[in-house]
């Protein structure tokens, strides 16, 4: 199942996440601090992770915020302020760099250096329970 084939309310977590990702493409190309738009490599990688995670999780998929860094990498952030819990997926600007995932609960945190969809799913499930 793909997102395009389903009818989702405009406020569903997947719709919000996808809109936030696409909005990055509508930013000015650069500003005085660097690149604002994501690279094509980062955008394709982020979209792939989001769509595959949604395909596996369905309505349990949590909404994420999306931002870029000064090089065009994308950061997807899932956060819960009430439990001080966060998962961040960083999709690098260049194809020769690897994505990584940061997760935090209170004072406990760690980095996963090589991210696959199954690793992302595992941490998003953990996030849902936190």
Which pLDDT tens digit goes with each residue over 47-78?
A: 999 999 999 999 999 999 999 998 999 999 99
pTM of the entire predicted model: 0.88
- What is the extent of the structural domain holding 13? 3-129
Contact 39, 85 (CB under 8 A): no
CA distance 47 to 13: 14
Across the chain, which distance is largest between two alpha carbons, in Å? 41
Q: How far apart are CA 99 and CA 85, in angstroms?
A: 20
Q: Which of 15-19, 29-33, 69-73, 96-100 has the lowest mean pLDDT?
A: 29-33
Contacts of residue 5, defined as CB under 8 A and 6 or more positions apart, other chains included, come to none
Residue 63's closest CA among 74, 73, 72, 54? 54
Average pLDDT, the chain: 91
- 100-105 and 65-68 strand pairing: unpaired
**pLDDT at res. 28:** 78
What average pLDDT does range 25-38 have in this prediction?
82
Residue 111 makes CB contacts below 8 A (sequence gap 6+) with 100, 101, 102
Does position 15 have pLDDT exceeding 70, yes or no? yes
pLDDT tens per residue across span 90-107: 999 999 999 999 999 999
More confident site: 31 or 48: 48
Q: Which burial class, exposed, middle or buried, applies to 7 when counting CB atoms under 10 A from its CB (0-12, 13-18, 19+)?
A: exposed
Total domains in the chain come to 1
């Amino acid at each position: 199942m793909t997102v395009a084939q389903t009818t989702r309310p405009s406020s569903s977590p997947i719709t919000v996440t996808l809109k936030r990702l696409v909005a990055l493409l509508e930013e000015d190309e650069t500003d005085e601090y660097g690149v604002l738009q994501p690279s094509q490599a980062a955008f394709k990688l982020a979209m792939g992770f989001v769509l595959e995670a949604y395909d596996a999780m369905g309505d349990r998929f949590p909404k994420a915020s999306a931002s870029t860094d000064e090089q065009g990498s994308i950061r997807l952030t899932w956060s819960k302020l009430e439990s001080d819990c966060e998962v961040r997926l960083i999709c690098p600007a260049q194809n020769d760099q690897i994505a990584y995932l940061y997760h935090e609960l209170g004072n406990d945190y760690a980095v996963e250096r090589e991210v696959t969809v199954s690793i992302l799913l595992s941490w998003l499930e953990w996030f849902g329970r936190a």
